[in-house]
Structure 1
Amino acid sequence: MKSTTKKSSWKYWLKEFCLALVIIAVASYAMDFYHSSSAPKGKAPEIQTIDINGNHIDVNALSKQGDPVIVYFWATWCGACKWVSPVIDWFANDHQVVTIALSSGDNARIQSYLDAKQYQFSVINDVQHPVSNEWGIRVTPTIAIVKDGEIKYLTSGITTPWGLWLRTRFS
């Protein structure tokens, strides 16, 4: 009698786990849909500017050089970014990554933050918000995948390394 109770208990928790995964997936998709409604689709708005280290960056030109470009909108004060930024930093080792800091202070403050967290990715400081306004970004963190000058994927919120890798591969 105990073995059937264990089997039913195991099946019950497996069903509950699967249901939770479905609910999380649906909620995540709904949040992406809601947050991306004001964001551009199709051709990526131009990002041609200088990062905080003085390097010239042209996202659309980079996106036409093979691999897609990961465009990451974040902020030093963003709670969810503390989970996503390490993923982005890890991807910056092998992928083209451009990050845009929103409402995060001056370049020295951002550099101090990067140094404290030991992040190596380059940063565009969007002080007057021209980039985020043109892109319609209102939520951090937001990640866009740009390939051949086109936005292939746009998501807001926390993502995993596996999720980001899949987005870059199938974009």
Structure 2
Amino acid sequence: MSKGVITITDAEFETEVLKSEQPVLVYFWASWCGPCQLMSPLINLAANQYSDRLKVVKMEVDPNPLSVKQYGVEGVPALRLIQGEKLLESTEGVINKEKLLSLLEIHLNNN
């Protein structure tokens, strides 16, 4: 169902994230952020591995201040796992593959 990682903006957040039928992993990043470059392959992996149960979107923080403020993003890279309007999980900083997959498994296997 998923088409890989979808790039969105503040204007698309409600439609793509809050109204999604699937849980959504929102990846907040910045072009100037070195650690974000380390996370990108993991985000793509999650999008591919969980495409049947998860939507993955990425949002650049600088041009999208509304969503950044709404979800309390203080540093990048940051992840927010959202289902409907409920925040299921929140991380900031680089996390490894095992932690990311474990975090997703916990929430996706409950659905």
Smaller-chain TM-score bracket: 0.7 to 0.9
SS of the residue corresponding to residue 75 of structure 2 reads coil
| C-alpha contact 2:77 2:92 (8 A) present in aligned 1 | yes
In structure 1, how many angstroms separate the alpha carbons of the residues matched to 2:92 and 2:71? 13
Determine which of 26, 37, 41 is the counterpart of 1:86.
41
SS of the residue corresponding to residue 39 of structure 2 reads helix
Normalised TM-score (structure 2): 0.72
Partner of 1:60: 18
Kindly, what percent of the aligned residue pairs are identical?
25
CA deviation after TM superposition for structure 1 residue 48, in Å: 6.4
Unaligned runs of 5+ in 1: 1-46, 104-124
Could you report, residue by residue, the CA deviation over 1:65-104 in whole angstroms, capped at 9, with x for unpaired residues? Answer: 24x210111001101111111111222222311111022x
Normalised TM-score (structure 1): 0.49
CA deviation after TM superposition for structure 1 residue 57, in Å: 3.8
Partner amino acid for 1:77? W
| C-alpha contact 1:48 1:59 (8 A) present in aligned 2 | no
Could you report, residue by residue, the CA deviation over 1:24-56 in whole angstroms, capped at 9, with x for unpaired residues? Answer: xxxxxxxxxxxxxxxxxxxxxxx86238xxxx8
CA deviation after TM superposition for structure 1 residue 168, in Å: 1.4
Partner of 1:165: 101
Partner amino acid for 1:155? T
Q: Are 1:133 and 2:69 counterparts?
A: yes
Q: Are 1:155 and 2:82 counterparts?
A: no
